[in-house]
Structure 1
Amino acid sequence: MEIKVKGAERSVLEKINGLRTGTTEDKRLFVHLDKAFDKLKLDPFCGNRIQKKRMPKAYIDKYHMDNLLIFNLPGAWRLIYFIERYGDNIIVVIVDFMSHTDYDRIFGYSRK
């Protein structure tokens, strides 16, 4: 079985790669994301499943997926992804990464 990690859109990968040359904080986040990708290649299900009722309709409509997971990163950052299967192959599709505050707002845990 082969496990690959890809971005749902090119822009998410560009955003991640842009962290390499950013501030010290950006570079630190890039390292954490890179380590997360390594972990996801070993175990794509290591994140926590997001309840279907919490999945943003915009994500479902845009990506036509039926599963969504969150990988908690240091510094209260969140990596959002879903999993696709193609025969024996698994693709981890990165949707976005965001601060805990943005995660709470987008996934309905905050009223802001």
Structure 2
Amino acid sequence: MTNAQETIPVNGARPLILVTGGAGFIGSHTLVELVESGYDVVVVDSLVNSCLESIRRVETIVGRSIHFHQLDICDPEGLDALFRQYYEGPAPAKARTFPHDHGAEEPLAAPA
């Protein structure tokens, strides 16, 4: 398991996904599925309603170390420092966002 004081080399061959709340019940199961599907994961959890043991169990199940950071997502300075650990370079020129305000009659689809 890694901690927030390290600079993390990430394998560029696999997509990297940030999972918030990854130490909880749903988050830990999501981690297993993501790692087994070939993704690298970075986990952020405040551990207010979860425990570090669940991350250790995920590591045992998937046979790999998980990048874990005990951090509250409401802490903008902490998140900024975390993002700087994993991404060095200019901001992407075109950011894609997923539409989140749909009516019941409008189907949910990813943007082109």
With normalisation by structure 1, the TM-score equals 0.22
The structure with the larger Rg is 2
With normalisation by structure 2, the TM-score equals 0.22
Specify which structure has the higher proportion of helix: 1
